[in-house]
Amino acid sequence: MRFSVMLSKLGEGMVTSVLIFTLTLLFSLPLGLIVALARMSKNGLLRSFTRIYISVMRGTPLMLQLLVVYFGPYYLLGIPLSSGYRFWAVIIAFSVNYAAYFAEIYRGGIESMPAGQYEAARVLGYSETQIFLKIILPQVIKRIIPSITNEVITLIKDTSLAFSIAVTEMFTVAKAIASSEKTMVSYAAAGVFYYVFNFIVAFVMETIEKKLNYYR
């Protein structure tokens, strides 16, 4: 196989990897904030439920969760599996998994805020919603960016786990080429793709962190 053809095939797989990455962040970041707020709720039942959810998501392998989300509807409910569901099973599994990690990062950031800021904002007449959205959340985002960046970089590499339910992302393509051509070049090329992707994401996150430097 010509090198240009191999790069073209890897590029197609990379598109799928980027799509998995983007959609996972799109769903898991806001879901993580919701879970974090539920985890800090005054409702004991809600706190217990979210604590169990976070524990299960962080305590079991993501690959196992992928298999459960994909095969669960068939084995538990008898719902036939469609080929189109494979991709969305990946998005669902990745989103609920990463939301658990993001939830704990959010919670740590929110709980690190001085109580005096809440008290001062109440004196100034802010509602609880305004306090959180206008005063607390912007500072929390600034504080948690480094931790979020670590998880985002891990997510880039975790997209390769989609191969477990036959979703053709970049690692799956590299493995197929290596098997058919009996060469490691495709793996090396995939490694470069992953590294460049990681470098770009790290640069973007660092830029965002610098933009938020006024929240000190």
Over range 100-126, report the average pLDDT. 87
Per residue in 16-39, pLDDT tens?
999 999 999 999 999 999 999 999
- Could you give the number of structural domains in the chain? 1
Tokens 């891990």 correspond to what residue? Answer: 154
pTM of the model: 0.89
Domain limits for position 147: 3-211
- Gap between the Cα atoms of 63 and 60, Å rounded: 9
**216 is a domain residue:** no
Per residue in 60-71, pLDDT tens?
999 999 999 999
Q: What is the pLDDT of residue 214?
A: 56
With a cut of 90, say whether residue 158 has pLDDT above it.
yes
**117 is a domain residue:** yes
Q: Which of 139, 134, 56, 48 is nearest to 99 (CA)?
A: 56
The CATH number of whichever domain residue 154 belongs to comes to 1.10.3720.10
Burial-class residue 179 by CB neighbours within 10 Å (0-12, 13-18, 19+): exposed
- Gap between the Cα atoms of 18 and 156, Å rounded: 8
